[in-house]
Chains A and B, each alone.
Chain A
Amino acid sequence: DTGVSQNPRHKITKRGQNVTFRCDPISEHNRLYWYRQTLGQGPEFLTYFQNEAQLEKSRLLSDRFSAERPKGSFSTLEIQRTEQGDSAMYLCASSWTGAGETEAFFGQGTRLTVV
């Protein structure tokens, strides 16, 4: 396990289409986070999971966005009826929060372009 893996790396979609991104965290990590980063800005928190439970969602996460982590391993982030304002880099991170807790390790992100 070499790190956090995100797929696809790039996605171009037409406005109104649905898209789904996948994140595979570091295998022993119990926390998984999604962030969104627009050009020239810092990442903004979207949501996070502790194992399979989604414990917090940001106000940025409109009802068109849904995230799952069904077995406490990989996670998916779906955006329905995409809008041009959804164009951004979507970053996934994972961490371990038990004894010997770690900082968050980030994947390389999925860059979404809505045309």
Chain B
Amino acid sequence: AQKVTQAQTEISVVEKEDVTLDCVYETRDTTYYLFWYKQPPSGELVFLIRRNSFDEQNEISGRYSWNFQKSTSSFNFTITASQVVDSAVYFCALSEAEKAAGNKLTFGGGTRVLVKP
């Protein structure tokens, strides 16, 4: 069975600080996708990034960057120079790539990020 663990329940930072969110996952599949979603107070889950299990290259997209390490089953996410608008709950998620479920997602418990001005 798949499992995603986000050990940090809440992180509070001051604006312009960097914040790193931890995610550890478990899966028996050799092919899978990892995601980060953001859930602002409005409730809608907003897609941020996706990474497949074959590509461990870490990238930067604007103020977002991620560190995927297959050896430790971790997919950490960093927001650089945080802003008040980044305040939200962030979810790490995992999906199997080869089964008919396709994008069926297994979510972690979420990390609430509070950015103070």
What residues of chain A have their CB less than 8 Å away from a CB belonging to chain B? 31, 33, 35, 40-45, 48, 50, 55-56, 89, 91, 93, 95, 97, 101, 103-109, 111
Contact = CB atoms under 8 A, between A and B. Distances in A.
A104 B43 contact: no
Contact-size category for B: 20 to 34
A45 B44 contact: no
B44 A48 contact: no
B60 interface: no
Interface stretch (B12-20, B67-75, B79-87, B98-106): B98-106
Contacts of B37: 106
Interface string B36-59: 010000111111001000000000
Contact of B103 (A41, A42, A97): A97
B66 interface: no
B106 A109 contact: no
Contact of A56 (B43, B47, B101, B108): B101
A56 B104 CA distance: 10
Contact of A103 (B35, B44, B100): B35
A33 B103 contact: yes
B103 A43 contact: no
